[in-house]
Each structure stands twice: as C-alpha cells, then as structure tokens.
Amino acid sequence: MSRDSADTGRSRRLRAALALSAVGLLAAVGTVVLPGTASAASTLGASAAERGGRYFGTAVAASRLNDSAYTTILNREFNQVTAENEMKIDATQPQQGQFTFGNADRIVQHARSRGMQVRGHTLAWHSQQPGWMQNMSGTALRNAMLNHVTQVATHFRGQIAWWDVVNEAFQDGSSGARRDSNLQRTGNDWIEAAFRAARQADPNAQLCYNDYNIDNWNDAKTQAVYRMVQDFKNRGVPIDCVGLQSHFTGGSNYPSNYRTTLSSFAALGVDVHITELDIRNAPTDAYRNVVNDCLAVARCKGITVWGIRDSDSWRSSESPLLFNGSGNKKPAYDAVLAALNNGNPGGNPTTPPPGGGGCTATITPGQVWGDRYNTSVTVSGASTWSVVVTITPPQKISGTWSGNPTWDSSGNVMTMRSNGSGNTFGFTTMMNGNSSARPQITSCTAG
C-alpha cells in the first residue's frame, strides 16, 4: 500500500500527533531514552558487543604494533583481532620441527590484554607453506600437516576463540571441486583429519572452515562448501563455524543473496563469521548491507575487516577499508557504525509505553539501495496492534506494506495499525541525503 493511499482519518491523525507531541516532550526533557531506541555506541566493537554480544574486529600485522597511530585506532575501535600473516604455516614453522611464535604471541598478548578476542588464521592451507612443506607429498606431508595443526593449536590453547582450521580448499568456478594442492593429493579426508587434530589439541576453540567466493548462494563453490559442512555435521566431524572472507571486488561483489548464504550455513548448525571483509573503494551501501545481513542472522557472530587503514591493506590501491591512510574515518565507517547502532541484535524489542503496550515490536533491517532502504517490523504479543515509528528528516517513508499507516503533520511519525495481514509490516524509506539514520520504534500498543 502506498503512503498516499493510507488511511488519513481525522481521529487517527490526532492520535499520531499526540504521539509526536509526546516524543517532543520527552526530547525536550533531554535525557529520556525512548523504549526500543537502540543505544548509540561510539565505536565499532562496543556497538557490535551490544548487538547480541557480537564482535567487530580487524586483521593486525605485528610489524605495525609499534605505530601509535595504528594502535590508537586498533585499541579504540575493535574487540577482535586476527593475525594477518603471523600464524600462517611459513611464519610458525619455517623449518620443519622448528616453531617460531614470537610475532603471533605479540599480537595475541596485545589483543588479550585489552579484552579483544583472537581468531587463529590458519592451520592448514595450500598457500604460504614453508619451502620444506611445499616439497612434501603423500603420507609424510599428511603427518607433517597434522603435526603442525597439533603443535600450533597446542601452543595457543586457551587463547584462541576461533581457529580457521582449513583455509581456501575449494576451487573457484563452476566445478564445485576441491582445489588441487599437495594437501588435497594426500587424500580427500585431509580436511576432516585437520579438524579432528585441532579439536584434540584445543577442545575449547571453535573450529571454522574459511574461504573466499562463498558469499553468493548460487555459486557452485558456495554450494560445494555447504555440502561439505552438511556432511561434516552429519558424520560428527568437529566443525563449529564457517568463515566467509568476503573480499568484495568488481569481480566478486556483495551479492544480494548474501543474507541467504549466511542463514543457510547457520541452518546447518554452525556459526557464521565474516572474516576478511574489504570492499573495493569502500562503498557505504555494500558495507551497510553486510552489517545488516550479519545482524539479521543470529548465528552471525561478528565481522572482521582485513586491516585498519587503506594503507595497511593487502590491496591498498583499492582503498577498501574503513579508515584512510591518515587514520581518519571514511564514510564507510560512519555507515557501518550507524548500521550497528541501529541494528537488531536478534531482538531490539520495545517495552510497553506508559498507559499502553501489551506488545513488542522488533525491527529487522532490509535491503539497501543507493537512495532508499527497506525495514520490516514484527510484532509479538498481540494480534491487533498499533506501532509508532519515527523517521529522522530529511528521510521520508515512501511506501508501506502489510499494515494501515497514518501520519503526524510533520510526516516523520508513522503509526502503523494491523490490517489482518499478519504480524509483520514493512516500509521503504527515502534517504534524501541522510544515508545513516534509521527508523526507531517509539511504542507498540495492543488492541
């Protein structure tokens, strides 16, 4: 139903106007937090933590821990850390049987002493193998790989929240096949063998499979990884999570079915993590969509960006991160923080307003375009209801569905009443130049 065709009955207008007056009164008092209003944390990690205990993290390079501009942002913004290169096989076992953990330990110490969780990356991978491993094959390689998993996971036991046990083991393209590598040639069961060894070495770490180009639900690679995880769950192979690297570029962009991918993996009984996010030219829409998609899936535990400043990025010429080379926040940062602050932690319920209430309204962010975005609201606790939604001008609601809307005189406060079409209604909001504000639920009243 369009806004123009909305019920514009006099009495309803009056009630809506009264609701607006109440909002104005509360605003005038100054310190009243409206029920259902998401709190506005000022950093990424703090805001993510408020969204159901999620994290917002970054890849960290040990060599940059002496750069105070870098650590200032790291320590302020992030509550999770992944070692960008320092836990890889060539870094931790440069010579067979000789383990070096100095740089990795520095990162772990820096993070844990500040309450940041650590993701281990990565125990078994075809890439960044030290020379001695590259030259191995067969049983000797399989045993060396398992020994590496055991030794490294044991060294960090108790300090790592999630391990990327196996990284990038599937081919791109339409085959859905495993990637050919010396590890794959040791036998198709190398992945599950690595997971079992990791579980034994660190029973409390969550064990993840991590890959890129598994973001689009329709891709053969996504489907192949999905089938592997399904098979592992069916057979009791110890896997707890899937990491979607999400390096979005022109060739592999944010797919509109990303949320479907996240929720489909989650439905297998694993957590999902966005592990290496960066997006060419850091478009605000794509960053915002990624955050909204993660917040919409209860098992999406957090987001890690692959570096802090553009100058720290493995593809710095594409300026894909949230901070510029001078350490200043980019528009993508603002979009991410706003999405986190406005997001639904799998429950941003309203509490009943004085003299009313009896129901709960929960916002779920919907799709975002360049000029507008969708929002849906689900009501529980009543079958007939009215929900008051407040929009920040110059944003304007341009269309609604599955409810009867009325408006206050400013057009910024919508009262949506049930119309018998269910307990979820939705609406489209034009941004009109303000891309970060999001609707707030002011009240939910039964009857």
Site residues, ligand G3I (CB under 6 A): 84-85, 127-128, 167, 212, 245, 276, 314
CB of 70 to ligand G3I, least distance (A): 14
* Nearer Cβ to ligand G3I (70/212): 212
Q: What gap in Å lies between CA 295 and CA 299, rounded to an integer? A: 9
* Nearer Cβ to ligand G3I (84/408): 84
* Nearer Cβ to ligand G3I (85/200): 85
Pairing of strands 162-167, 206-211: parallel
* Nearer Cβ to ligand G3I (21/100): 100
Q: What gap in Å lies between CA 150 and CA 163, rounded to an integer? A: 12
Q: What gap in Å lies between CA 270 and CA 230, rounded to an integer? A: 10
How many helices (H) and strands (E) are present in the chain, helices listed first?
12, 17
- Name residue 32's amino acid: V
CB of 210 to ligand G3I, least distance (A): 7
Query: Helix 284-296 and helix 331-342: axis angle, to 10°?
Result: 20
CB of 133 to ligand G3I, least distance (A): 15
Query: Helix 220-235 and helix 190-201: axis angle, to 10°?
Result: 50
* Nearer Cβ to ligand G3I (62/337): 62
Q: What gap in Å lies between CA 343 and CA 132, rounded to an integer? A: 48
426 beta partners: 376, 401
276 is catalytic: yes
Show the tokens assigned to 364.
Answer: 């779920």
- Sign, CA dihedral 205-211-217-221, equals negative
Closest residue to ligand G3I, Cβ-based? 314
388 beta partners: 415, 443
Which one-letter DSSP state was computed for residue 326?
A: T
CB of 89 to ligand G3I, least distance (A): 11
CB of 274 to ligand G3I, least distance (A): 13
**DSSP states along 114-137:** TT-EEEEEEEEESSS--HHHHT--
- Catalytic residue, from 50, 168, 192, 276: name it: 276
How many other CB atoms sit within 10 Å of the CB of residue 383? 12
* Nearer Cβ to ligand G3I (64/185): 64
8 Å CB contact between 88 and 125: yes
CB of 314 to ligand G3I, least distance (A): 3
Show the tokens assigned to 424.
Answer: 């979820």
Catalytic residues: 276
